[in-house]
Amino acid sequence: MANELPPWLGRIGVFDLETTGVEVTSDRIVTAHVGVLDEHGTAVASQSWIADPGVPIPEGAAAVHGVTTERARTEGRPAAQVVAEIATALRDLLAQGLPVVAYNASYDFSLLQHECLRHGIPVLENPGPIVDPLVIDKQLDRYRRGKRTLTAAAEHYGVALDSAHEASADAIAAGRVAQAIARRYPLGDTAHELHTQQVGWARSQAESLTEYFIRIGRFDAEESIDGSWPVRAAVAD
């Protein structure tokens, strides 16, 4: 039997980036989406961007999100302008008290922080409350086999995702997955309570994965995964 959606998840922000690669310190934003969903998962506000990142977009990244270097240079706006507008849009949602959903939030928020620093734009200071369906799903259904990608999570929770790796589609799907999880599991009384829980869950998950990687020989004993969330420690300090 489904739970009722908590009131604080009845209006949520959603956020997603598509980028030049997976390194938060050096890769750049190519496309982005910031929006708002209502209690039915319907988009009631949305902003999307395409940036000229100022560097070539690797073919592998373009194959994922569909934006080539040529297209970004033709259709994209200067990266500094785009980064500033994304940060402002998120700051406005958080100032309204809306929780912002981002799947694998520590990637998107960390990369955005680096982009802000790169372009001399004020960073988001201790952004929150953030809702990360990846962290929550791994905590509440930890023994489920299979991948934990957004595509896999959307399928598991019955959420349509027709254009994976397109920023608006991914952002909206992540929000709907968060709402679907909340209808299946109790998530606490407030978004801020959940945010605090996720900080600990993300740390524990990183420690567990680090131990596994060391055990199978993928990591040396001194290596570790950064479990700080929603902004990785190297960025937040």
pLDDT of residue 234: 66
pLDDT of residue 135: 98
CA gap 13, 172 in Å, rounded? 9
Superfamily of domain 7-236: Ribonuclease H-like superfamily/Ribonuclease H (3.30.420.10)
- Give the residue extent of every domain in the chain: 7-236
The segments of the chain whose pLDDT lies below 50 read 236-237
CA gap 35, 47 in Å, rounded? 6
Any residues with CB less than 8 A from the CB of 63 and at least 6 apart, and which?
Answer: none
Task: Tell me the chain's radius of gyration from C-alpha atoms.
Answer: 17
Q: What is the pLDDT of residues 142-176, one digit of tens each?
A: 999 999 999 999 999 999 998 888 999 999 999 99
Q: Which residues pair with 163 in a beta bridge?
A: none
pLDDT of residue 2: 76
pLDDT of residue 162: 85
Any residues with CB less than 8 A from the CB of 204 and at least 6 apart, and which?
Answer: 227
CA gap 51, 37 in Å, rounded? 24
Q: In the chain, helix, strand, coil percent, each to 5? A: 45, 15, 40
